[in-house]
A and B are shown apart, each in its own frame.
Chain A
Amino acid sequence: MANFNIDATAERTFQAIVIGSGLSGSWAAKELCEHGVKTLVIERGRDVKHLHDYPTTNMLPYEFEHRGQLTNQIKEENPVVSRCYAFREDAMHFFVKDKEHPYVQDKPFDWIRGYQVGGKSLLWARQVQRWSDFDFEGPARDGFAVDWPIRYKEIAPWYSHVEKFAGVSGNKDGLANLPDGEFLPGFELNIVEKYFQEQLKKHYGDTRHMILARCAHITGNLEYYQQQGRAKCQSRNLCHRGCPFGGYFSANASTLPWAEKTGNMTLRTHAVVHSIIYDEAKGKATGVRIVDANTKQMEEYFADVIFVNAAALNTNLILLNSTSSRFPNGLGNDSGLLGKYVAFHNYRAGISAEYEGHSEYTTSGGRPTSGYFPRFRNLYKQETDFLRGYAAGFTASRSNYADQSGIGMPLKEELLNPSKYSNWNIGSHMMGETIPKETNFVALSKEEKDAWGIPLLKVNVEYDDNDEKMIKDYQQQMTEMFEKAGFTNIRVRDDKRAPGLDIHEMGGVRMGKDPKTSLLNKDHQLHACPNVYVTDGACMTSTSTQNPSLTYMAFAARAAHHAMKNQKWGKV
């Protein structure tokens, strides 16, 4: 580097560097800064300041030129991200556009990304279900991947820690496979959802449950959240625009401002991480090389400890691109497994139906969550011809609508005074556990680089026979339950979506007990380079069926405390 001198090095030296300002990175930053660690947070995109940078948050429906719809031009230019349910006129600005950041799909994979401060924490579906030992013991019991090096009891206090700060609304349901947590008051299931709960009880006893899904929204303990400048969720259901109340958890509203307030956080935006610097003599990582997104100049930053939280696949990319003579195949990659055993959640199947009962009732107001089926398949023992199982969403709703058959004054009167009610519409979608395999992997392109000189990521991930069987089972089991509940017009679907659109991609830098078969130890350190931690989706040994974000947050907080206790910290 030109103009490199001692002063510049001092200015570029921190105690910790966190790569990525999203959901998991912001948790690492918050814990480190809160305890006095001088921390540099590196973000490849622009800053998005809470309240200031939510341009659409209070826009009214008529203020959107296309009333929320995507134009043909946007869909044609962005076939991948246009398939994401949240990529709409009101939140498009928080998503990566296809052409800006290309990748290589060796097999179809819809990679949905948010390159800005806060990352996808602005855009997530805010579902936060805990894992249990039914999940952590899955690989060992069923003989796939490798055994998780941790169990529920080690992570439980960290679930409590992050739930309390983030704010989680839910009910204590007393289910062994979906442990209760630190809950604020739950939202309400509606009369038909409660009816369905009773039907499950009647037909399946205590073996199948549908509960209120726990979500990261503030519904109580308001004075506590005032300290973060956050207020009660107003059920606007406009979360993807960024919330002016801070009603749901995002890095932007919660963890990042908290970290910033300590005075210990430095945020470097527009910095695309090229690689982690490994010092052969010291035998550890000493810093991070970035390429300025605008000037394309390379810069180096230094720290004692490095957290890699770039989001699952980009964390793989950074480690694969961090080569040295000690690690010619990527940082910490002695096992040769870096980038392999990538998995995801199978969201392909869904079901819809109608219910003619409870026709005298409807609902009012808003609710930012829905019902949730914890996994019931193969829970206590193997009972099907496929491994593992699925969780599922569940919703009942009905609408008051206008008969639009006429024209003229009768139509106008009907539009202004809608007289019709639909039947209750029942819907569910599956969230299937997929089995991590060596053949599902990401790698670096040898030929193609992006605008910052970094190799493109090649994604080679697909469904397998286990997934196909699980889709059929979901469809059959849900149909059976819906029939028993007296629902009609039952229709199952398989939308054949590519992996990735679930936005639950995981693995590639998996945890494990043995350095020969895993990359990270039980404390999220690279076995071979223990001052580097990975606590985002890349660390996942298996996927379970729960939305993974809460687990990443708990992992990040736990690993940050491990680092503070066990690493050698220099002075800045």
Chain B
Amino acid sequence: MHRREALKSLAILTGGAVLVPSCNFEKEDILAAYQNLNVTESMCKLLAQIADTIIPPGNIQGAGDLAVQDFILVMVNDCVQADQQGMFTKGLQGFDNFSKEEAGSKFSKLEPADKEKVVAQGLSISEEDADAGKKTILEFLRITKRFTIQGYMMSEYIMTQVKPYHLIPGEYNGAVLINSISNPKING
């Protein structure tokens, strides 16, 4: 986290947000912590809502409660190939337009059920038939879903309070009858 911490300290020193020049049509400032992505604060909020639609809140907290969007941005910024980073940013930028086309409104204005429909529709875009814009939405959602699941399941909350992770997994048993395993159902 050194880079991000450094940027934060710099922000404090300069008395405000650290800005990098934006090279797209967004008027909003680009978040400097993700230097490989052109992501603004409102895009980050939109991403949180998409993640929260993929894994919604309930008895157990959802992706939004756990701020999984931060993890998604870290992973896409640091670990994903450049062409995929481009698709991700474009897809996120274009997602509200896609939402308007599919459901007649910006994503944030939709009811949860409609949000789910929009995301489901995006994920069911045909790889063969769709135009470039639609394919970008598909790729963006695939990346987002993958890291939403990873960030959610590998979060401190899930790994300590819901499905505790054990550094010591116990002695090996090489023949466990599956129907002898009784895991209490976790009600999401």
Residues of A within 8 A of B (CB): 58, 60-62, 65-67, 69-73, 187-191, 193-194, 234-238, 360-367, 404, 407-409, 411-413, 415-417, 421
Which residue of the partner chain, among A66, A238, A364, contacts B176 with CB atoms under 8 Å?
A364
Decide yes or no whether B145 CB sits under 8 A from chain A: yes
Of the listed stretches B12-20, B38-46, B179-187, name the one at the interface; the rest are far from the partner chain. B179-187
Pair A366/B174 contact, Cβ less than 8 Å: no
Decide yes or no whether B75 CB sits under 8 A from chain A: yes
Pair B54/A411 contact, Cβ less than 8 Å: yes
Pair A60/B165 contact, Cβ less than 8 Å: yes
Which residue of the partner chain, among A67, A71, A412, contacts B56 with CB atoms under 8 Å?
A412
A363 to chain B: which residues have CB within 8 Å? 172-176
Which residue of the partner chain, among B60, B168, B175, B186, contacts A190 with CB atoms under 8 Å?
B175
B82 to chain A: which residues have CB within 8 Å? 72
Pair A365/B173 contact, Cβ less than 8 Å: yes
Decide yes or no whether B136 CB sits under 8 A from chain A: no
Pair B79/A70 contact, Cβ less than 8 Å: yes
Pair B185/A417 contact, Cβ less than 8 Å: yes
Pair A416/B168 contact, Cβ less than 8 Å: no
B186 to chain A: which residues have CB within 8 Å? 416-417
Bound Cα distance A409, B1 (Å): 33
- Once A190-B174, A361-B176 are accepted as A-B contacts, the answer to whether A72 and B81 lie under 8 Å apart by CB is yes
Bound Cα distance A234, B166 (Å): 11
A67 to chain B: which residues have CB within 8 Å? 150, 154
Of the listed stretches B88-96, B97-105, B115-123, name the one at the interface; the rest are far from the partner chain. B115-123
Of the listed stretches B22-30, B126-134, B155-163, name the one at the interface; the rest are far from the partner chain. B155-163
Nearest-Cβ distance from residue A409 to partner chain B, whole angstroms: 6
Which residue of the partner chain, among A364, A407, A408, contacts B172 with CB atoms under 8 Å?
A364
B145 to chain A: which residues have CB within 8 Å? 404, 407
Decide yes or no whether B21 CB sits under 8 A from chain A: no
Decide yes or no whether B62 CB sits under 8 A from chain A: yes
A194 to chain B: which residues have CB within 8 Å? 174
Interface size of B as a range? 35 or more
Pair B53/A407 contact, Cβ less than 8 Å: yes
Pair B53/A188 contact, Cβ less than 8 Å: no
Nearest-Cβ distance from residue B107 to partner chain A, whole angstroms: 14
Decide yes or no whether B149 CB sits under 8 A from chain A: yes
> Which residue of the partner chain B has the closest CB to A74?
B78
B62 to chain A: which residues have CB within 8 Å? 412
Pair B176/A362 contact, Cβ less than 8 Å: yes
Bound Cα distance A189, B154 (Å): 29
> Which residue of the partner chain A has the closest CB to B112?
A408
A193 to chain B: which residues have CB within 8 Å? 174
Number of A-B pairs, beta carbon distance below 8 Å: 125
Pair A407/B167 contact, Cβ less than 8 Å: no
> Which residue of the partner chain B has the closest CB to A368?
B172
Chain A to chain B contacts (Cβ below 8 Å), 23 pairs: A61-B154, A62-B154, A62-B155, A62-B156, A62-B159, A65-B74, A71-B79, A190-B172, A191-B175, A194-B174, A235-B168, A235-B172, A238-B167, A360-B177, A361-B178, A363-B176, A364-B173, A365-B169, A365-B171, A407-B145, A408-B53, A408-B116, A415-B149
Pair B56/A236 contact, Cβ less than 8 Å: no
Which residue of the partner chain, among B159, B167, B172, B178, contacts A188 with CB atoms under 8 Å?
B172
Pair A65/B1 contact, Cβ less than 8 Å: yes
Pair B152/A415 contact, Cβ less than 8 Å: yes
Bound Cα distance A404, B123 (Å): 12
Pair A236/B174 contact, Cβ less than 8 Å: no
Pair A416/B163 contact, Cβ less than 8 Å: yes
Pair A191/B174 contact, Cβ less than 8 Å: yes
Decide yes or no whether B153 CB sits under 8 A from chain A: yes
B163 to chain A: which residues have CB within 8 Å? 416
Pair A409/B56 contact, Cβ less than 8 Å: yes
> Which residue of the partner chain A has the closest CB to B186?
A416
A72 to chain B: which residues have CB within 8 Å? 78-82
Interface residues of B in 49-99 (CB under 8 A from A): 53-56, 58, 60, 62, 74-75, 78-82
Bound Cα distance A234, B167 (Å): 9
Nearest-Cβ distance from residue A368 to partner chain B, whole angstroms: 9
> Which residue of the partner chain B has the closest CB to A421?
B178
B168 to chain A: which residues have CB within 8 Å? 234-236, 366
Bound Cα distance A235, B169 (Å): 7
Which residue of the partner chain, among B55, B155, B171, contacts A235 with CB atoms under 8 Å?
B171
> Which residue of the partner chain A has the closest CB to B57?
A412
Pair A236/B154 contact, Cβ less than 8 Å: no
Bound Cα distance A239, B175 (Å): 25
Bound Cα distance A189, B56 (Å): 41
- Once A407-B53, A412-B55 are accepted as A-B contacts, the answer to whether A187 and B172 lie under 8 Å apart by CB is yes
- Once A60-B165, A407-B116 are accepted as A-B contacts, the answer to whether A412 and B58 lie under 8 Å apart by CB is yes
- Once A408-B116, A417-B186 are accepted as A-B contacts, the answer to whether A66 and B78 lie under 8 Å apart by CB is yes
B178 to chain A: which residues have CB within 8 Å? 360-362, 421
A-B residue pairs, 6 tightest by C-beta: A190-B174, A366-B169, A367-B172, A191-B175, A412-B188, A365-B170
- Of B1, B120, B169, chain A has the most CB atoms within 10 Å of the CB of B169
Nearest-Cβ distance from residue B49 to partner chain A, whole angstroms: 13
Pair A188/B78 contact, Cβ less than 8 Å: no
